[in-house]
Amino acid sequence: MNEKAPLDRDERISNLKGMGCSRKRVEDVRFTQGRGNYVDDVKLPGMLFGDFVRSPYAHARIKSIDTEAAKAIPGVIAVLTAADLAPLNLHWMPTLAGDKQMVLADGKVLFQGQEVAFVVAEDRYAAADGIEAVVVDYEELPVITDPFKALADDAVVLREDLEAGADGAHGPRRHHNHIFLWEAGDKTTTEQAIDSADVVAEEMVYYHRTHPCPLETCGSVASMDKITGKLTLWGTFQAPHVVRTVASLLSGIEEHNIRVISPDIGGGFGNKVGVYPGYVCSIVASIVTGKPVKWVEDRMENLMATAFARDYWMKGRISATKEGKITGLECHVTADHGAFDACADPTKFPAGFFHICTGSYDIPTAYVGVDGVYTNKAPGGVAYRCSFRVTEAAYFIERMIEVLAIELDMDAAELRRINFIRQDQFPYQSALGWEYDSGDYHTAWDKAMAAVGYDDLRKEQAEMVEAFKRGESRKLLGIGLTHFTEIVGAGPVKNCDILGMGMFDSCEIRIHPTGSAIARLGTISQGQGHATTFAQILATEIGIQADSITVEEGDTDTAPYGLGTYGSRSTPVAGAATAMAGRKIRAKAQMIAAYLLEVHDDDVEFDVDRFVVKGAPERFKTMKEIAYAAYNQAIPGVEPGLEAVSYYDPPNMTYPFGAYICVMEIDVDTGTHHVRQMYALDDCGTRINPMVIDGQVHGGLTEAYAIAMGQEIAYDEIGNCKTGTLMDFFIPTSFETPHYTTDHTVTPSPHHPIGAKGVGESPNVGGVPAFSNAVHDAFRAFGLRQSHMPHDQWRIWETANKLGMHA
């Protein structure tokens, strides 16, 4: 027999490797063989290297900069200072948050590690020698590292460039170091509800400053071709199209003459959303020298000077009835933004989506106010693997629930259960103004409780407390509970924009004559596996095997305009655009199939990888045949070719959620811990690739573990960064990393074309409170209410010590 037996329907589905399939990541072939192509792999003829002279001081006036000796060093081509950039008006640049930031120090420095001068040289070595030879005369000024002290009447003025008393980008500034006050909810009714409640819990919850610390640091290569007038810019950009627009607006170069390329990116986690002085300086240096200029920062520069995350002091009050029904929530945040407000949030949301802080609970009234404050620390405030300030919000509410449980003398799992938004309440209007699209929290919670054997764990915990009290053991058990609700997929153009660009996203598909395809998106993978998963969405939508679909992102000359990848927006927004573009392809394919089968358009229907005549499944045209026909037949009333593009403006955010439980043993004497179990149930709606989801959850949980248990950006009182290397900035190795158990429920998003919600950030959002709550829970029986992260050894030891457990 020559012909193979026709494939049955299941085989055809599995050949597609479409949605739901644990398809292996196509990117990994090159990544695991060292064949990735990162910014630092870009090597151009005649390329120069730029590197920064950075401030050793956190606050100082610059009296003079002498670059003569540096320029005399062999191989040094130029040294740029603010004075050189000023005529181009590039010594300052706008930030994404409506503030402005020095590109090179203009008269003073405001944080340690700030860019002071840019040395351009023939190679990195000469640049490094040049840096040593630049002589900067500083006059030290008083340093403020504490945002509360920054707001004292007599605090030194940090931002002398801002006019006293003038409004900022987000309204009135009430103090010279104040940036904005942003509010949501109803303050009066909230105060009334809390003040008249049976039970009130009040606590200061601090989410410390940390850093996304992607494996690959930030960098760029700028190449200005003076003959064509075209600027090509390779860089570690999470939003290449926005970078092109900003570069055009800043430089005056027309946008069609700028090509921005994000090549492979070795992790971003929010760190690569903003615009850094290095990008601007490499562009200017290329224009000045006429040669390509590369800038790539080292690890210490990345940790000390590029965007940090968190640093939120959250003072909360939560109230409830005696039975534990929550009646109100109030939060006032003092947000330390560092020297410049360089947060990466949608423009109208200076505190991001922090007002998702009512979490998974049905809270009738709530209020939040966020004060942004300047200090002498590095700028940033980016969404480190989260949607804008959602990690802070989740940590806040999950701590407040625990504290309320203590106040009520109630089990914290039960307290959550009786306050969850019920399934029949969705779509749910939160007191702070969000419409939660869907959820089924009770089902997820019950599944999680059963999976970990919650009741037995509580018994074991109680026995360990007794053994400790009897002096037989020095170990405690903590059960860290979390039920988080995220808000991702920014977002609807009507209220979400970045520098005026609406936060839609896009996909363009071309089907080739032989039935394979290329899809280009406005997003950019930094390791998430877009080339794998977006091909799967398309495979299911258009019936072409995922293995026959190339997914390309990151080159603004070829990809359609999009707002990039962060805030778990790629699947909710670009993934939706992909499905919608696929549906346009399918609609045209239907017409072609009907023509080929000589029936009316309505008489064919899509079936996995083909259109079949309704009621006559033996009469069909495969997508391969249809693609060929699109290019080789004159079909009346149908244009040749098979292409589609979709720009998707999401009607709402998506609201992934999850139930995480961490079981942790703590050694009271050493402050060390052992994570016995970390159970993570995620509901991200429709699951495109379960293996990729698992990978995302494992990675995010590991970051969450790091943040909760040791990772921080810390400063001493004169503003020296104490954690500028990986010796002190905690990145867990395989040895420290806990084992994880993943699980899921599926509650599809009702408004998303394929029901998907995004998952990449959930484990960071939910993981941090789970680990932190485990530490707190271990000490609950001994009177602990609140302690500050990170829970490294000495802080856990100190907690035990203060509770008198070493006596």
Partner 1 sequence: MIPAAFEYHRPSDIAAALSILTEYGDDARVIAGGHSLVPMMKLRMAEVPHLIDLQDIGTLRGIDVGADRIRIGAMTTQHDLINHDALTNAAPTIRETALQIADPQVRYMGTIGGNVANGDPGNDMPALMQCLDATFYLTGPNGERTVSAREFYFAAYATDREDDEILTAIEFAHPMPGFAYEKQKRKIGDYATAAAAVLIQRDGERCTGASIAMTNLSDTPVFAEDAAATLVGTAVDSAAIAAAIEAMQQAIDPSEDNRGPVPFKRHIAGVVLQRAIERAWSRA
Question: Binding partner 1 by CB under 8 A: which of 56, 266, 492, 732?
Answer: 732
Question: Binding partner 1 by CB under 8 A: which of 98, 710, 760, 769?
Answer: 710
Residue closer to partner 1, measured from CB, 417 or 788: 788
Site map (CB under 8 A) of partner 1, residues 365-384, x = contact: --------------------
Q: Which helix (H) or strand (E) holds 77?
A: strand 76-80
Q: Which residue blocks in 430-522 are alpha helix, DSSP H?
A: 441-452, 454-469
How far apart (Å, rounded) are the C-alpha atoms in residues 481 and 420?
A: 14
Question: Binding partner 1 by CB under 8 A: which of 31, 107, 125, 746?
Answer: 125
**761 is an active site residue:** yes
**238 is an active site residue:** yes
**Residue 113 interacts with partner 1 (CB under 8 A)?**
no
Residue 565: closest CA among 538, 539, 536, 534: 534
Question: Binding partner 1 by CB under 8 A: which of 183, 202, 552, 728?
Answer: 728
**Residue 703 interacts with partner 1 (CB under 8 A)?**
no
**Residue 804 interacts with partner 1 (CB under 8 A)?**
no
Q: Closest approach of Cβ 132 to partner 1, in Å?
A: 7
**Residue 300 interacts with partner 1 (CB under 8 A)?**
yes
Are 384 and 309 in contact by the 8 Å Cβ rule? The answer is yes
**386 is an active site residue:** yes
Please report how many Cα atoms fall inside a 13 Å half-sphere around the Cα of residue 752, on the Cβ side: 32
CA 90 to chain centre: 28
Are 96 and 344 in contact by the 8 Å Cβ rule? The answer is yes
How far apart (Å, rounded) are the C-alpha atoms in residues 163 and 166?
A: 6
Are 146 and 59 in contact by the 8 Å Cβ rule? The answer is no
**Residue 788 interacts with partner 1 (CB under 8 A)?**
no
Residue 425 has phi, psi (to 5 degrees) of -90, -5
Residue closer to partner 1, measured from CB, 443 or 720: 720
How far apart (Å, rounded) are the C-alpha atoms in residues 640 and 630?
A: 5
Strand, coil or helix: 670: coil
Query: Which residue among 209, 385, 399, 416 is the active-site one?
Result: 385
Query: Which residue among 218, 386, 662, 721 is the active-site one?
Result: 386
Residue closer to partner 1, measured from CB, 15 or 801: 801
**Residue 794 interacts with partner 1 (CB under 8 A)?**
yes
∠ CA 568-336-58, rounded to 5°: 120
How far apart (Å, rounded) are the C-alpha atoms in residues 308 and 39?
A: 21
How far apart (Å, rounded) are the C-alpha atoms in residues 113 and 303?
A: 10
Q: Closest approach of Cβ 47 to partner 1, in Å?
A: 17
Q: Closest approach of Cβ 730 to partner 1, in Å?
A: 7
* Amino acid at site 366: A
**Residue 191 interacts with partner 1 (CB under 8 A)?**
no
Are 536 and 23 in contact by the 8 Å Cβ rule? The answer is yes
Range 733-752, binding partner 1 (CB under 8 A): 733, 735-736
Q: Closest approach of Cβ 167 to partner 1, in Å?
A: 40
Question: Binding partner 1 by CB under 8 A: which of 526, 723, 762, 799?
Answer: 723
Residue 181: closest CA among 6, 337, 26: 337
Are 559 and 531 in contact by the 8 Å Cβ rule? The answer is no
Residue closer to partner 1, measured from CB, 223 or 702: 702
Q: Closest approach of Cβ 728 to partner 1, in Å?
A: 5
**281 is an active site residue:** no
* Amino acid at site 250: L
Q: Near partner 1 by CB under 8 A, which window of 318-326, 675-683, 688-696, 791-799?
A: 791-799
**Residue 86 interacts with partner 1 (CB under 8 A)?**
no
Question: Binding partner 1 by CB under 8 A: which of 47, 128, 156, 784?
Answer: 128
How far apart (Å, rounded) are the C-alpha atoms in residues 203 and 404?
A: 10
**Residue 160 interacts with partner 1 (CB under 8 A)?**
no
Residues catalogued as catalytic: 238, 385-386, 761
Binding site for partner 1 (CB under 8 A): 124-125, 128-129, 132, 298-300, 669-672, 710, 714, 722-723, 727-728, 730, 732-733, 735-736, 792-794, 797-798, 801, 806
